[in-house]
Chains A and B, each alone.
Chain A
């Protein structure tokens, strides 16, 4: 899937630029975007190390287990086959909580850890594609848990759109916070759609 999307972006971009005379800016964009990705990673590395360090403490002190227990009923509903005692559960729980609270910086680290743990789970389940390691390992297929996790994640769980309120204030809105109510409703609606979709797909063999 991503192979096609990525190829489409690059090929369409270059061909379109050739016809519209934007080749120079495409050259610029290609080089500067690659550089941007690296500097983004450098910035992210610090935040990621800080967050994962803190999370390790929280894990050892039992804080995460306590926090995660709050949304266990929801997790059991969305991930019926996920073992009760798996570390993936903790990461998913923390990721959802970070998303709901709008802690953007905390979402990616926990999300990545959750995906790694879900891959580990497939290995434990004896899924052949996940047992083989190495560069040219078999094409891995996403597990149901991965699909559900990703769909819920992209459905936006954030309750209060702090960024938007700040931008609205900057641009002289008469009522910057007016977005909160509709934003919660719209988020709820998109999340319910995601939940229903995941439950339907999850039932299929």
Chain B
């Protein structure tokens, strides 16, 4: 099953590219000219988000290097363990809100220490599948629209994440 899925993710991109170009040719689109035009727009967007990315990654980097994340994890861990969330998971939840790649580092760490099929391993697996990088997405997307007042977006995102977290705890409990 895992192999099928890994293969699926390997072939899906070439298949999509093939399909788009073939569909374009069949519909008599000037495929190459359109491609270059689109690529130009894409580059413009990347240049626009670079400053946010620098700001955000420096912020996360500083906070992580200071050791504050671990400290917070330990402190909140006492509280969250009552709800079935082990202390090791707390930094992961916090980091996942900012950076997917930083969270991946922590996930692999948890798998190494606790195994993948333990309660913690299962909880980590489910949790990472149903949450997104809230702050990263918000800051990058809102920057594209030059919006600074984000109204109820954060509240909604956090609520949805909490719902996912609660579901993960229940489901991981059922599996283990």
Contact = CB atoms under 8 A, between A and B. Distances in A.
B66 to A, nearest CB: 4
20 contacts: A17-B68, A26-B65, A29-B61, A32-B61, A37-B56, A41-B50, A49-B38, A60-B29, A111-B144, A115-B145, A116-B45, A141-B151, A151-B156, A153-B132, A168-B2, A168-B125, A175-B117, A182-B168, A189-B167, A190-B163
Interface of B: 1-2, 5-6, 8-9, 12-13, 16-17, 19-21, 23-24, 26-27, 29-31, 34-43, 45-47, 49-50, 53-68, 71, 104, 107-108, 111-112, 115-117, 121-122, 125-135, 137-142, 144-157, 159-164, 166-168, 171-172, 174-175
A29 B65 contact: yes
A54 B38 contact: yes
Label chain B's interface by main secondary structure.
helix
B42 A171 contact: no
A34 to B, nearest CB: 5
Interface of A: 1-3, 5-6, 9-10, 12-14, 16-17, 20, 22, 25-26, 28-30, 32-34, 36-38, 40-41, 44-45, 48-58, 60-63, 101-103, 108-109, 111-113, 115-116, 118-119, 137, 139-142, 146-147, 149-151, 153-156, 158, 160-179, 182-183, 185-187, 189-194, 197-198, 201
Given A40-B53, A119-B146, A147 B152 contact: yes
A178 B115 CA distance: 14
A197 B154 CA distance: 12
